[in-house]
Amino acid sequence: MRRIYAVILALLLLVIGQHNSLASVTAETDSERREEFVYGVNAYNGTIYQGTFYPPSVDTVYILADRVSMISPRKTLIYYWAVTNEYKADFDSMNEDISGTLEIRSNGQLIASLQPREYVIQYREGITKGEAEIYLGGDAITAYADWQEALKEYRFAVSEYYQADRDWQTTLTERVNAGEITSEADVLVSRPVKPADFVYSSTKVFKGVPVNLKSGNYDIQLRNEQGQIVADSVKKLVVFNAERVGVGYTVIPDDKWTTPELTYNPGEFLYVRPNHTLYLEPFFESEYKEQYYTHLSAPQSPNIANTDWQWVKEENFKPRPDNPYSWSSRDGMADDVTFIGERRERQPGRYINDDGKKYNLQIIEKYQAEDQVAFEDYMVRQTPGKALGYEILGAVEGVSQGMRERAPDFSAFKVKVHLSLQDMIVSLRSEDEIFLGGSSRTLDIVRSASSNELFFALLLPLGVGVTLVGYRRQTLKRHRASLAVSDETS
């Protein structure tokens, strides 16, 4: 009995010891949170603005050239997170602006002294679809107020829609009970239309230093109001741009709409099955030095010894409002349309060959140019019934078959792949017969082996074996016959 009591007492002491150990670990973790100077950076990554922070352990800041990036001196609480082997910032507990002047030096010479300003980042067409716009100073306050007013108007319109829809439902019920509904048109013609989704996105008004530089290596430091350099504010600044630009494609098989594939490399081979339809959705892409681009998004990533290059997907091609088959316009676009593989002296514009021309997809098969495919809108609907699946229809066809009018699910070139011994080559071709550099891909049609071919392949070694055995028997038979004749003559 005493032994049982002793075991129970030992277990109680063990539990108490583990509890104290956990409390000690928690206390140690809390004590590791410390106040530090950091740079909060909102950097453009080719598509959107991405927020990161640079703790004292990181000595180099990376941003893109010829784009405004916001660098915000902050004091916050940081702590080490062993799970991901990096420092985390607790901006919820502390997020203080550090006043001062950001000094930028190149080769030891002071080239800029910048003050913090208010800023707002907005996406009028949505974060994943539209171009990012950044506003500074008084324009930032005005832009944020405009966004708030637009959001207020949208909420009011939605509220009015739901009220009108409830009134419509009540009226419809009364008319049905009175026998006044004679056709489906009577139901649909007067129903309220729901307002379009509110995709206009905006940040709050923040404060930071706007930095817009040419590519190169710089040094930055923050000088406070007393003329002293703030501790841990001295860092290197690497400003870089794309080495190449090109055209990539999102490849959407007709039977796998939910699992598309991406192709980045110009001239890449795509292995496709015959008797299927592909939808090629083009997008603009840029190639960056992998180490630079990785550290732009994740500053605490380890340095890469043998740096490689990385293609980055940017914005999809979009039809112009006045021309359904050409791309949206931007000023300052490079004139050369064949600059894949060439080093550019300046950062190309957001759009390739942005001259408002019509582009189609040229298909070359058996060394002969086939008809060009137009850039069209498509809608996707789920297959009714127990068999789950999807069906891709042209936008006009989908509406004519009863789908509600809405924005298309995607815009792409439709390519029908049939059984052929020759590869297919696709490229973007303008109305003035110029092929767009970097847009070429080769479709390698994979022929599936039939069961008969596999059966004959299995029979081949058996047939060879039977032939060799038969030949051997015939040889032995002739040899024995010759021996018998020689014995008789002797």
DSSP sequence for 94-129: --EE--SEEEEEETTEEEEEE--EEEEEEETT-TTT
> Which of these ranges, 72-86, 110-124, 326-340, has the smallest mean pLDDT?
326-340
246 contacts 266 by C-beta, under 8 angstroms: yes
Largest CA distance in the chain: 129
AA letter at 207:
K
Tokens describing residue 306 = 């043998």
- pLDDT range class, residue 197, cuts 50, 70, 90: confident
Tokens describing residue 1 = 């009995």
Q: Can you list the pairs that 370-374 forms with residues at least 24 positions away whose Cβ atoms lie under 8 Å?
A: 372/429, 373/413, 373/414, 373/415, 374/325, 374/413
For tokens 């005005």, name the residue: 142
pLDDT in tens, 88-127: 999 999 999 999 999 999 999 999 999 999 999 999 988 8
Q: What's the distance, Cα to Cα, between the start and end of the chain in Å?
A: 110
pLDDT at position 387 is 58
Tokens describing residue 305 = 């010894």
- The Cα–Cα gap between 388 and 375 comes to 28
Q: Does 144 have pLDDT greater than 90?
A: yes
- pLDDT range class, residue 22, cuts 50, 70, 90: very low
Q: Does 213 have pLDDT greater than 90?
A: yes
pLDDT in tens, 35-78: 999 999 999 998 899 999 999 999 999 999 999 999 999 999 99
| Total number of residues shown for the chain | 490
- The Cα–Cα gap between 44 and 48 comes to 6
AA letter at 337:
V
From 351, 349, 341, select the one nearest 243 (Cα to Cα): 341
AA letter at 314:
E
pLDDT at position 343 is 30
- Complete DSSP assignment for 122-187: EETT-TTTSPPEEEETHHHHHHHHHHHHHHHHHHHHHHHHHHHHHHHHHHHHHHHHTT---SHHHH
| Domain spans in the chain, listed from the N-terminal domain onward | 1-31, 35-240, 243-445, 451-490
Q: Does 237 have pLDDT greater than 60?
A: yes
pLDDT at position 363 is 87
Q: Does 205 have pLDDT greater than 60?
A: yes
pTM of the model: 0.73
390 contacts 383 by C-beta, under 8 angstroms: yes
* Type and span of the H or E element at 33: none
pLDDT at position 337 is 34
359 contacts 432 by C-beta, under 8 angstroms: no
pLDDT at position 192 is 82
Positive or negative: CA dihedral 317, 323, 328, 332: positive
pLDDT in tens, 290-303: 999 999 999 999 88
